[in-house]
Structure 1
Amino acid sequence: MNEDKSPLRPEWRQWLAENLALGVEQEDVHQVLVSAGVDPALARAEVAAVEGHPYFKACLQVARHFGWLESLMDVYSDLRAQDGGRELEVREGIAPEEFFHRYYFGHRPVVLRGMMADWPALTRWSLPYFRERFGAVEVEVMVGRDANPEHAAMQDRHRARMPFAAFLDRVEAAEQTNDFYMVPRNDNWRRDGLSPLREDLRAPRGIIDPALLPDMMTLLLGPAGTVTPLHHDNMNILLGQVLGRKHVRLVPSFERHRVYPHRGTFSHVDAGKPDLVAHPLFAEATVLEAVLEPGDMVFLPVGWWHWVKALDVSASVTFHHFLVPGGNTHLEAPF
């Protein structure tokens, strides 16, 4: 069958080849196609056409090389599951030495409580506070996100500048929306206008570089309903929840093959409402979750997949300069 003349939509042909290469059974992918309205005979013909294509045979050869690594990662995942890996640990009053030994170098996430008790931001930060002190400052935010499912990977298409007060008005008027959000990919934190906000923060003692220079942290601010889609960062992150609550879901870095990666650091899976018909391997993923309250911090190890949804008007800060040689551990991803 000439692939270019196939009546099956290109996205379905791509899905079909990807899932067959991942080892999903022919009958299973056939059933998904039929459930989506594809004629059963056409579905079988498409499966046969894919499996007979020389490009797909080359794809299978590459998949076999990765299959060995995935098998090893599955063993590692099973071992970690028997060592508390099925739970997101919550700790209070942890010493820096234990944090680095068990979590940073142990490549484990953790929710930390009590480390923000001395932050003036916990009592000061609110929409009126921001408006009174910084309302005239011009800030950059992401807008029009609802119209583009790939907004997180295409941030340059969504950048907009406006007075901070105008953005705060939109946040205050919204009930729940993911259409606009102040995300870290801007220079708001470094601009003179918002830089005094850094005075309301404190570096977690013994863990984060106390200099707190502008390029050592980021600010996230938006209404309830904002979602950061499932993705991973290429370095370790410590996120502090200052205002409002956030729901976080995490998947281990070593279960990458279960989250259907695309665009390098993003996932095809909607971790808020996973479609296990389209993404069946996600059913095997280890999903850790928690609701972060104001004053909570969460450590996101390098490469760990995370999805975040704001349950209220929310303000968070992230740190990425740890008290380790080089300031962080980085993932040099080839894709």
Structure 2
Amino acid sequence: MSTLNLQDIPRVKNISKEEFISNYYKPQKPVVIERFIEDWPAYTKWSLDYMKTIAGDKIVPLYDDRPVDYKDGFNDPHARMKMSDYVDLLKSKPTKYRIFLWNILKEIPQLQKDFSYPDLGLKLMKNLPMLFFGGKNSHTFMHYDIDLANIFHFHFEGKKLCILFDQKQNDYLYKIPHSLITREDIDFSNPDFNTWPALKNAKGWKCELNHGEILYMPEGYWHYMKYITPGFSMSLRAIPRRPKNLGKAIYNVLIMRHFDNFMRQIKGQKWIDWKNEQAISRTNKSF
């Protein structure tokens, strides 16, 4: 098995605001906080069965790991299903279908009673608590978020592999130009270094998240998530404070996304193919 150059993300049982800001936010380093939410109702209540009970009739958008197609709209789902049926699917067999960016406040407002917004020194966007679900062995592509936010990722039920890189590793990751993802045919849990030799030079972080643990991902960190068992997570986010990252976020939202959509409409699949080729040629030149 090929292994990336990854160090374990530091773990703490609990943490104060001052410790978090000094040890992790200011140096922009990730951390797993193991016992921070044990007083939340969600800690004991939230499970796949509970989500089935409370949201079973909701129609949820589902995504798999098919490559980006020029006809796809921004975040268009690949399928839809009742939450009750989706949970049954997750628990019955492995599936590639995932839910991401599912807004709790919009879909199931009463879930907000089960958690609170942690005071760790960053101003969280309270209108954007998002849920993410996945089945065994389903995964997200390596990507970073369009707003380069600071992210607190709370995991529930089961176990999840998380691999992170900071933006300094971009030259080695086969980043797709005018986009927020790497080549989609890279398996970051078991990479083929013969095909993707530059990955040997990338230095990153890894952890396995368990129920009730929080992963802090600093501004603009690349992240790849693979569900070792069926489960789900919630993300809370805070806008980037560093001027360079805030500038990138504004550019991504106002310019880059619209330019990419425009080029898809004009050039179709040729634009996607060109970007994929550029990811290889640019990375090979860099390393």
For normalisation by structure 2, the TM-score amounts to: 0.73
Amino acid at match of 2:137: G
Q: Is the 8 A contact 2:47 2:156 kept in 1?
A: no
SS for the counterpart of 1:162 is strand
- Equivalent position of 1:267 in the other structure: 182
Is the aligned partner of 1:248 residue 2:166? no
Query: Residue 130 of structure 2: which of 203, 218, 241 is its match?
Result: 218
Is the aligned partner of 1:118 residue 2:30? no
Is the aligned partner of 1:278 residue 2:192? no
Counting only pairs closer than 5 Å after superposition, residues 137-152 of structure 1 correspond to structure 2 as: 137-142=58-63, 145-146=64-65, 148-150=66-68
Q: Is the 8 A contact 1:249 1:288 kept in 2?
A: yes
Query: Residue 189 of structure 1: which of 104, 115, 128 is its match?
Result: 104
Structure-2 change in CA distance of 1:310 and 1:242 (3 Å): same
Amino acid at match of 1:177: T
CA distance in 1, matches of 2:58, 2:192: 42
Between structure 1 and structure 2, the one with the greater Rg is 1
Query: Residue 151 of structure 2: which of 237, 243, 264 is its match?
Result: 237
Q: Is the 8 A contact 2:240 2:246 kept in 1?
A: no
Which structure 2 segments of 5+ residues have no match?
Answer: 257-287
Q: CA deviation at 1:325?
A: 10
Q: CA deviation at 1:294?
A: 0.9
For normalisation by structure 1, the TM-score amounts to: 0.64
SS for the counterpart of 1:283 is helix
Q: CA deviation at 1:177?
A: 2.4
SS for the counterpart of 2:248 is coil
CA distance in 2, matches of 1:325, 1:275: 35
Q: Is the 8 A contact 2:153 2:233 kept in 1?
A: yes
Q: Is the 8 A contact 1:137 1:163 kept in 2?
A: yes
Structure-2 change in CA distance of 1:275 and 1:314 (3 Å): same
Query: Residue 86 of structure 2: which of 159, 167, 179 is its match?
Result: 167
Query: Residue 321 of structure 1: which of 235, 238, 256 is its match?
Result: 238
Q: CA deviation at 1:324?
A: 7.2
CA distance in 2, matches of 1:94, 1:116: 11
CA RMSD of aligned residues (A): 2.9
- Equivalent position of 1:72 in the other structure: none
Q: Greater helix share, 1 or 2?
A: 1
Counting only pairs closer than 5 Å after superposition, residues 1-335 of structure 1 correspond to structure 2 as: 86-142=7-63, 145-146=64-65, 148-150=66-68, 156-174=75-93, 176-178=94-96, 180-184=97-101, 186=102, 188-191=103-106, 193-207=107-121, 209=123, 213=126, 215-233=127-145, 234-263=148-177, 264-268=179-183, 269-321=186-238, 331-332=248-249
Structure-2 change in CA distance of 1:266 and 1:324 (3 Å): closer
SS for the counterpart of 1:317 is strand
Q: Deviations over 1:242-272 (max 9, x none)?
A: 2211111112221110111005211124312
Amino acid at match of 2:193: L
Q: Report sequence identity in percent.
A: 23
Amino acid at match of 2:191: P
Q: Is the 8 A contact 2:21 2:120 kept in 1?
A: no
SS for the counterpart of 2:136 is coil
Q: Is the 8 A contact 1:246 1:291 kept in 2?
A: yes
CA distance in 2, matches of 1:296, 1:161: 29
Structure-2 change in CA distance of 1:102 and 1:231 (3 Å): same
Which protein has greater RCO, CA pairs closer than 8 Å, 6+ apart? 2
Amino acid at match of 1:256: N
CA distance in 1, matches of 2:209, 2:8: 15
Which structure 1 segments of 5+ residues have no match?
Answer: 1-80
Q: Deviations over 1:210-234 (max 9, x none)?
A: 8x73x23110122221201211222
